[in-house]
Amino acid sequence: MPVVLVTPLANGDLALKFGYSTPDGGCQKTDTTFTKGAVDGQFSNKAMAQTNIRVASTDYKHFAVLYVETQKGGVRNVWLQLYARAPELFPEGAQKMQQLVPQVGLNPSQGTLLPRSGDKSTDRWID
């Protein structure tokens, strides 16, 4: 199961440690820092070409919808990711994510809510 450890830094940035299993049964670990943006709750990571990362919606108890924008090679991509505290899909979180789709400029007919995978990774709205 993928694991993310988020640690707030004194300067307002976030240190993230990612760990996830690989197809060969091993474990891949990555450390990265997300730089605090101009607006509270907004972060970026230039190494990952992520220019705008923020929590678009959360109930602080069951789910969070993350907005991610990337800019690389003149191509801009936007997507939403739904995170939950339990392996089961939280219906209110999925509903909120679907409501946000047109608000962030995505076309509902071009995206999908992917079913949960066997490794319990995040559900994503893809465009």
> Does residue 125 register a pLDDT over 70?
no
- The predicted pLDDT at position 97 comes to 87
For CA atoms 36, 39, 42, 44, the dihedral sign is: negative
Indicate the pTM of the whole model: 0.66
Residue 25 lies in a domain: no
How far CA 84 is from CA of 65, 69, 71, 99, 120, in Å, comes to 9, 20, 27, 17, 10
Length of the chain: 127
- The predicted pLDDT at position 116 comes to 55
For residue 70, the enclosing domain spans: 36-126
Q: How confident is the model at residue 9 (pLDDT cuts 50, 70, 90)?
A: very high
> Does residue 110 register a pLDDT over 80?
no
Question: Residue 68: which CATH number?
Answer: 2.40.128.20
Residue 54 lies in a domain: yes
Residue 18 lies in a domain: no
For a pLDDT cut of 70, what percent of the chain falls above it? 84
Residue 79 lies in a domain: yes
d(CA 126, CA 61): 24
- The predicted pLDDT at position 60 comes to 86
Question: What are residue 101's phi and psi, to 5 degrees?
Answer: -50, -55
> Does residue 118 register a pLDDT over 60?
no
Residue 14 lies in a domain: no
Task: Quickly count: other Cβ atoms within 10 Å of residue 32's Cβ.
Answer: 13
> Does residue 22 register a pLDDT over 90?
no
- The predicted pLDDT at position 11 comes to 94
Residue 1 lies in a domain: no
d(CA 101, CA 86): 23
Residue 50 lies in a domain: yes
Tokens of 48: 């990952």
Residue 78 lies in a domain: yes
Q: Which residues pair with 71 in a beta bridge?
A: 76
Domain count, the chain: 1
User: Taking the C-alpha atoms of 62, 78, 20 and 42 in order, what is their torsion angle to the nearest 10 degrees?
Assistant: -60
pLDDT by residue (tens digit) across 47-105?
877 788 888 888 988 888 888 888 888 888 888 888 887 777 788 988 998 899 888 88
d(CA 9, CA 2): 22
- The predicted pLDDT at position 115 comes to 57
